[in-house]
Amino acid sequence: MKVVLRNPRREVEVAGNRRVKDVLRDLEILPETVLVIRGDDLITADQHVGDADTIELRPVMSGGV
Amino acid sequence: MKCRKCGNAAVLELRRHNAAFCGPDFLEFFRNQVREAIRKYRMFTPDEPVLVAVSGGKDSLALWDVLIDDGYRTTGLYLDLGIFDYSVESRGKCEAFAAARGVPLLVRRVADEVGAPVPVIKSVTRRPPCSGCGLSKRYLMNRAALDEGMPVVATGHNLDDEAATLFGSVMHWQTDALPRQSPALASTHPKLVRRVKPLYRLSERETAAYAFLRKIDYIVDECPFAKGATSIAHKETLNRMEDASPGAKHNFLFGFLEKARPAFERAEAVVLNECTRCGQVTTGTLCAFCKLADQVKRSL
């Protein structure tokens, strides 16, 4: 499956057919730091993603104070 | 995962609340948190005009969206920092948002006010880039509100911003900064407008989810100068604590506001003067903004 990452924007291929939380763990991304977007929807970490899916992991951190 | 309120499929899990919500119920949860913040700290009344400082990012545009929907009289204020394409894009987001909703937007250019844009300020001062930028923004927000006759400025600071700032202050025991950290700072001088942070109860993941679900077109890329900022390192530390113990950030910030801040507030006694040059409020004779502008002018 394809995962779209930001800052900078890039795409990586990872194994699918598992839960979102397993993909996040593989990529060492904390669930608190991203929105998980599939198509036009947000999905929760317990949802299953297939091999043909594309998800965007959109960072939520803004900063510099 | 099911929505806590209606039982439909959830789109967002909020571990710190031990809850998950569907889209419509999350939006209502979000708006209720903003309403509770405004009520608890008496931030403003429905009759008062509110200047909303907007950056084109998710937080400030989400805040403006909620306030417009709740019928507040708002005007946006965009401060153009002059940070290359980032500022061009973020200004465009604010202008498009304001035009689509038919609300007024003021634009002020930092370069016009300080004498140079943020990248130049960064290069001619020894301050970290976010420091000179933040100083300029706080000053210009206050002055724009005074110029426009608006009693209050609302900013999009969220729970993560506030927890990270608190963490930084505590790490260095900046006891003068602690009493000034509050979701609402009253006007303590005729030339100082009230400053409020109606999103302080909401995490930045929640504001991002709100902006996404409301289809707000915001700038996702971060400021090019934010990389390496101390506040981001603090946020990362806090997020690891949050992952191990959901609610950690909330408890840290809310515990401070309820239990610790009053003690530091009593300890602070500051005399406010008017800057001998610009007339804005300062604790000295020449304000930090005028000193910064001097430094920029000398080096150009």
Q: Which domain holds residue B234?
A: 23-266
Question: Using the beta-carbon criterion (under 8 Å), do B165 and A65 form an inter-chain contact?
Answer: yes
**Exposed, middle or buried, B263 (CB in 10 Å: 0-12/13-18/19+)?**
exposed
What CATH number did the domain enclosing A55 receive? 3.10.20.30
Give the gap in angstroms from C-alpha A11 to the nearest C-alpha of chain B: 16
Residue A32 lies in a domain: yes
Mean pLDDT of A52-58: 96
Taking contacts as CB-CB distances below 8 angstroms, the residues of chain A near B58 are 60, 62
Q: Which residue of chain B comes nearest to A7, CA vs CA?
A: B221
pLDDT 10s digits, A10-47: 999 999 999 999 999 999 999 999 999 999 999 999 99
Mean pLDDT of B198-205: 98
Instruction: Tell me whether A60 touches chain B (CB under 8 Å).
Output: yes
Give the gap in angstroms from C-alpha B93 to the nearest C-alpha of chain A: 16
pLDDT of residue B123: 84
Residue A26 lies in a domain: yes
Measured CA to CA, the distance from residue B300 to residue B295 in angstroms comes to: 9
Element spanning A19, H or E: strand A18-19
List the beta strands (DSSP E) in chain B.
Answer: 12-14, 19-21, 49-54, 73-80, 105-109, 152-154, 184-185, 194-196, 273-274, 281-282
Residue B6 lies in a domain: no
Question: Using the beta-carbon criterion (under 8 Å), do A58 and B220 form an inter-chain contact?
Answer: yes
pLDDT of residue B125: 82
Nearest to B239 among A32, A37, A64 (CB): A32
B286 — pLDDT class (breaks 50, 70, 90):
very high
Go through chain A and tell me how many residues it has.
Answer: 65
Mean pLDDT of B154-164: 97
The domain total for chain A is 1
pLDDT 10s digits, B126-154: 777 788 888 899 999 999 999 999 999 99
Asked if the model's pLDDT at residue A65 lies above 60, the reply is no
B253 — pLDDT class (breaks 50, 70, 90):
very high
pLDDT of residue A64: 53
pLDDT 10s digits, B48-84: 999 999 999 999 999 999 999 999 999 999 999 999 8
Residues near B254 by Cβ (< 8 Å), separated by ≥ 6? Answer: none
Question: Using the beta-carbon criterion (under 8 Å), do B20 and A32 form an inter-chain contact?
Answer: no
Residue B244 lies in a domain: yes
pLDDT 10s digits, B240-250: 999 999 999 99
pTM for the whole structure: 0.94
Question: Using the beta-carbon criterion (under 8 Å), do B240 and A30 form an inter-chain contact?
Answer: yes
Q: Which domain holds residue A36?
A: 2-59
